Amino acid sequence: MNQICQTPLEHAQYNQVIDLLPYPIAIINSVGVIQLVNNSWKEFICFKRFNINDWVGINYLNLYRQDPNNSQASQTDITQNLEQILSQDIDCIKVEYHCEDKHCNHFFQLSANKIRINHTDYLMVSHEEVLAKEELIESQQRLSIAADAAQIGIWDYDLNSQSLHWDSWMYKIYGICPNETQAAYSIWANSVHPEDLAQAVNDFNKAVSTGENFDSEFRIIRGDGEIRNIQASAKVITDNQNIAIRLIGANIDITQSKKSETKIYELAYFDQLTKLPNRRLLKDRVSQSLVLNRKLKSYGSLLFIDIDQFKAVNDLHHHDTGDKALKALADRISNSIEPEATACRLDGDKFMVFLPHVANEKLEAMKHVKSIARKLMQKIQQPLTLNDTAYKLTASIGMTLFNGEAVCIENLIKQAELAMYKVKESGRNNISFYDPQMQIEILQRKQMENDLERAVVNDEFILFYQPQVSYNNGVVGAEALLRWFPLEQGIIYPNEFIPQLEETGLIILVGEKVLYDGCKKLQQWANTPEFSQLTLSVNVSSAQLLHEGFSSYVTQLINQFKIKPGKLKLEITESTFIENIDATVAVMNELANVGVQFSLDDFGTGFSSLSYLKSLPLTELKIDKSFIKDLLEDKSDMAISKTIVSLANSLGLDVIAEGVECIEQLQLLHQLGCNNYQGYYYNRASDADEFETFTRNYNKQLLCQVSEDDGGDLSIIHG
């Protein structure tokens, strides 16, 4: 069904008016289909023979054409007149007819008047029995009451005498006291908002000159100074020469409807926190610009802005602090761009700047966009004081150009986003233009993701073991290192697939398999005397450690495989706990209570503080291989290694050095007080069989050496 009212408010007003009228009224569209009827229409005695419950959607003309109870003359007269007013430039018809059947024997007058509602023409059709003068007066009173109940102002303007009549509601709508000011054209014109007056007067004059219905929407300034939105409509009355002589119309206060429309628009097209345009409005503006870019052969640009490490600020402080920061950043970004540019907030800490027309030459456009990006970075980097605390934030900005060629807007946004992530990968706080190679890398990552999913299903991940050697006690443990053996391919090492596992979330499934296989191997070693002393170190990421149920899963494995306390060691990095120290400590304490030990991997490469170390239930620090590599030549590396050993001793922690590749490194580490080692000097990571063979032979050789030397110098075997 065609809707004739824009809003439920307006629909209710029209229903309210016509329902109060005593005679049947229907509103039909341009092809004769009924859109709205009042209660009197439903009960009209002449219609009882039709036995229709729902009139809306019925073609009124067809109903008369097919009605055998109407006389041929009445049928023809009514249908012809209705067809004439619908198809020709006629505003009103009146037809008298006789309705005679078992329900009725009366004469009626059918009236059809053209009306305009919200820029659309309709017919208001009514059936009225010939009334006495007193009944007519009563009907007019009812109409006045109905209009008053619906809060519709009625006005009547005589063009010849220039006299204007307002009913009481017109005075109320305009905020004018009828006892102080009489209605006049000048009063109305002075009330209309100056910005809207010209259009309203133009609409009025057009109706007078053409005889078409007056339909206009404008603002008024009431007598009390309040601004209201008005919808005005009127019927033009003409004389025998078809010259307008009078307008009779209505005013409706639609201010609340306008406010609702504005609110809906704001919700649909603007970010509610920063008040910047959102993605939907951005896409709309880019879409319009593409047409002009193509026509002018000019370049536009999108800049994707991501605030570096904003999550840490948001997590470390209250979210209201983060919201204040986002609003301040939004102001800085929007105030740093040209008036014709658009700054929008996509979501979270991600913003976008749209530059519609940069330059006609590509190199010039790139230069200009880079200049704007640098300016944005400088503005964002300025100290930001919130709640008496100063913050210095940075941004990663990706950029892309377009010149109106056929392209998907979402692809343009994605290009700028890819360029931004390239900056992130390169260390943040910089800018980068989109390069098609980035898309190739994305496709490669997608292929890697598919391959990893297949690898999980096909059980293509195998645990390798690298010996951990004590200076005095031989091989005392191993670090479990994952290797991927795709079908019909060679071995793939962790640095090539672990980041993708973390990005896709598959690290949770794969991590559980590693822990399961590792605990199963620990049980086998515990039941084999020559391996019963071995511990196993397993790397876990922050995603695993903080994943719901991680602690319960590890505890279940410990109970299932009867793992003794101290045998399972989980290696974490500094980045694991720095993001959420409280939650990390809670999980670590739960596992420490069931005998799990913890080693801090890559120690010294990040931003650990003593306060963090004191709060974590650690048993071991691991000197990163980056300090071991140049240990013999670089005094700084030696000093750092010595400090780590000293710190571990003072905290009562074990210490192990990874990446030991030669005897000289081992001997220097031993002199510094580090007595546990891991690296190629002893053995590379290998499968379980090779690791166990190495462990058996090495410990047997060590035992023989100890027996021969009777507890003497062990440096021989380490050399």
- Please give the single-letter amino acid code of residue 639: A
- What's the whole-model pTM score? 0.50
pLDDT at 557: 97
pLDDT at 544: 93
Sequential DSSP letters for 40-79: HHHH-GGGGGG--S--TT-BHHHHHHT-TTS-HHHHHHHH
pLDDT at 22: 82
pLDDT at 71: 53
Of the candidates 478, 483, 517, the one whose C-alpha atom is nearest the C-alpha of residue 498 is 483
Most confident stretch, 14-23, 251-260, 367-376, 388-397: 367-376
3-class SS of residue 204: helix
pLDDT band of 134, cuts 50, 70, 90: very low
Inform me whether the pLDDT recorded for 539 exceeds 80: yes
Task: Tell me which of 3.40.50.300, 3.30.200.20, 3.30.450.20, 1.20.1730.10 is the CATH number of domain 8-134.
Answer: 3.30.450.20
Copy the structure tokens of residue 141. 């009173």
Contact status, residue 77 vs residue 95, Cβ threshold 8 Å: yes
Q: What tens digit of pLDDT does each residue of 694-705 get?
A: 999 999 988 887
CATH 3.20.20.450 fits 447-718, yes or no: yes
Cα distance between residue 204 and residue 247, in whole Å:
10
3-state secondary structure 76-126: HHHHHHHHHHHHCCCCEEEEEEEEECCCCEEEEEEEEEEEEECCEEEEEEE
Inform me whether the pLDDT recorded for 661 exceeds 90: yes
Dihedral, CA atoms, 640, 646, 647, 648, nearest 10 degrees?
110
Cα distance between residue 665 and residue 629, in whole Å:
9
pLDDT band of 177, cuts 50, 70, 90: confident
pLDDT at 306: 94
| Residue at token pair 């195998």 | 462
Longest distance between any two alpha carbons in the chain, whole Å: 136
Cα distance between residue 574 and residue 600, in whole Å:
7
Q: Which helix (H) or strand (E) covers residue 254, if one does?
A: none
Lowest-confidence region among 58-67, 146-155, 201-210, 596-605: 146-155
- Range list for CATH 3.30.70.270 in the chain: 272-434
Inform me whether the pLDDT recorded for 143 exceeds 70: no
pLDDT at 7: 44
Segment 441-456 shows an average pLDDT of 84
pLDDT at 345: 93
Sequential DSSP letters for 334-389: HHTS-TTSEEEEEETTEEEEEEEEEESSHHHHHHHHHHHHHHHHHHHHS-EEETTE
pLDDT at 8: 44
- Range list for CATH 3.30.450.20 in the chain: 8-134, 151-259
pLDDT at 528: 96
* pLDDT over 90, % of the chain: 43
Backbone angles phi, psi at 11, to 5 degrees: -60, -45
Lowest-confidence region among 196-205, 324-333, 457-466, 703-712: 703-712
Segment 156-167 shows an average pLDDT of 86
Segment 552-567 shows an average pLDDT of 96
pLDDT at 370: 95
pLDDT at 586: 93
CATH 3.20.20.70 fits 151-259, yes or no: no
pLDDT band of 595, cuts 50, 70, 90: very high
pLDDT at 88: 80
pLDDT band of 146, cuts 50, 70, 90: low
pLDDT at 710: 56
Inform me whether the pLDDT recorded for 712 exceeds 70: no
Helix 255-269 and helix 279-296: axis angle, to 10°?
80
Q: How far apart are the first and last CA of the chain?
A: 93
pLDDT band of 15, cuts 50, 70, 90: confident
Segment 443-470 shows an average pLDDT of 90
439 vs 337, more confident: 337
Q: What is the mean pLDDT of the chain?
A: 85
- Range list for CATH 3.20.20.450 in the chain: 447-718
pLDDT at 132: 44
Beta strands in 370-508 (DSSP E): 384-386, 389-391, 395-402, 431-433, 461-470, 474-484
Q: What tens digit of pLDDT does each residue of 639-650 get?
A: 999 999 999 998
pLDDT band of 582, cuts 50, 70, 90: confident
* pLDDT over 70, % of the chain: 88
β-strands 395-402, 431-433 pairing:
parallel
Dihedral, CA atoms, 160, 164, 167, 170, nearest 10 degrees?
130
Per DSSP, 2 falls in state -
pLDDT band of 6, cuts 50, 70, 90: very low
CATH top class, domain 272-434: alpha beta
Q: Which helix (H) or strand (E) covers residue 698, if one does?
A: helix 688-709
Segment 421-431 shows an average pLDDT of 88
pLDDT at 663: 94
